[in-house]
Amino acid sequence: METAEKIVKELIQLANIEIPGDLEVHHPDFYARILRDGPLGFGESYMEGWWDTKSLDKLFDKINRSNIGYKIKKNKRFLLKIALSKILNFQTQKRAWTVGKKHYDLGTDLFQKMLDSHMNYTCGYWQNAKNLEEAQLAKLELTCQKLLLKPGMRLLDIGCGFGGLAKYAAEHYGVEVVGVTISKEQQAHAKKVCEGLPIQIRLQDYRDMKEKFDRIVSLGMFEHVGFLNYKIYMQTVHRCLKNDGVFLLHTIGNTFAEYPNEWITKYIFPNGMLPSIALIAKASEKFFVMEDWHNFGADYDKTLMAWHKNFEANWPLLTSKYDEKFYRMWNYYLLSCAGTFRARAMHLWQIVFTKEGMIGGYKAPREVEIRRSIASNCLIESSAG
C-alpha cells in the first residue's frame, strides 16, 4: 500500500513543487492530514506550523496552474457540504450577519494598517497606478464613471464597507448616498469619515431595502450572497432601481460554479460563495440588460500583495491584539489568494446593468485619469497618521 507521503509528494511534483525545497515539512502527520482534510487541512497545518515555504504566493500560483487540487480526493464532509449548499440556504438574513461579526468586525485597526487611506477593501485598478493609493482611487473613479453619476442623483451602495466609495462619490460627483452594511465596525468608521456629507450609513440587510435610487452599486459584497439568494438579490436591486437607472456589480468570480475553499469559509469569510458567469447570467437575465462585463482579476494579485506588504510592515503594532497563529492565518489568506489570482483561477468582474437597455448604447470607460492631487494628499495624511 502506498504511503500518504508518497501519494502527496507525487501529486505535488505535478505542480513542479519540491519537498524539501519549495515546501518544508515539520510534522510527520502532514501528508496524512492533507489526504484526509484537503484544502482545510493544508491551511490549518500551516497555521499550526506544520510546514513552511519561502513564498506562499508563488506556491499557490504553481498549485492553481497545475490544478492538483482537483486530483486530491476530497473528504466526505467537504463533499457533503457542497451538496448541502445546493439545498440549504447558508446566507439567510440571520446567517448573513455572521461574516460581519467574524471578519469585518475583527478590528478597524487591522484594516487601517493594511488598506489604503480610503479603507477600500476591494480590488484596486492598476492600469495607470503607481501604488496602492492610486490604484484604489482609480477604482473609485472608474466605478463612478461607469455609473454615469451626475449631481443630485441618489446612489445606493450595497455593502458599503468603510465608506470609501460613498465619500468619494458624494465629494466628487455631488450625489446623495445611502450605504448599507452588516458590520458594526464598518458602520461606525463609515459614519465618521462621511460626516457632514449627504450620506446615510445603515446597519441593514440589503433585502430590507424598499426605496428608489438613480444608481445602485455593490463592491465586493456579492461574494456573501449565496447561490440560493442570487434571484432575490437581483429582484431587490430591480425593485430599488429607477427605470432609467444603472447598476454596477463588482465581484470576485470563479470560472466554474463551485463551493469555495473550505479553509476560507471557516477562517476568513463564513458562508461565502463565489459566482460563475452562468450563475450571474441566470439570476439577472429576467431583470436586467447586461451593458458591460469587465474582467481585471489580475489586478487583485497586485492589490493583495500591497495589502500584505502593509500588514507585514505594521505587524509589530498589532501584536498586542493578535497572536502568532493569527499572523500565520492572515499571511496564508492574503498570499494564497494573491497566488490564485495570479494563476487566473479566480477573477474580478465589474458588470454594468440597466433595466431596459440604454438608448444609443452604453460606452464603458477603461482609461481613467487619477486625481493625483488627491492621491498625494492621501499619502501625506496616511504617513502622518
Nearest partner of 225 among 84, 92, 122, 346, judged by Cα: 92
Residues 202, 205, 206: CA angle, nearest 5 degrees: 95
Question: What gap in Å lies between CA 142 and CA 122, rounded to an integer?
Answer: 13
Question: What gap in Å lies between CA 385 and CA 379, rounded to an integer?
Answer: 10
Task: Judge contact between 120 and 140, C-beta under 8 A.
Answer: yes
Facing residues of 206 across strands?
none
Could you tell me how far CA 41 lies from the centroid of its own chain?
A: 23
Question: What gap in Å lies between CA 170 and CA 364, rounded to an integer?
Answer: 21
SS3 of residue 125 by DSSP: coil
User: In terms of DSSP bridges, do strands 176-181 and 199-203 run parallel, antiparallel, or are they unpaired?
Assistant: parallel
Question: What gap in Å lies between CA 44 and CA 332, rounded to an integer?
Answer: 10
Determine whether 337 is an active site residue: yes
Q: What are phi and psi of 247, to 5 degrees?
A: -125, 130
Catalytic residue chosen out of the listed positions 144, 194, 240, 337: 337
How does DSSP assign 172-231, residue by residue?
A: HH--EEEEEES-HHHHHHHHHHTTTSSEEEEE--GGG----EEEEEEES-GGGT-GGGHH
C-alpha cell, 58: 508563488
Which positions are catalytic? 337
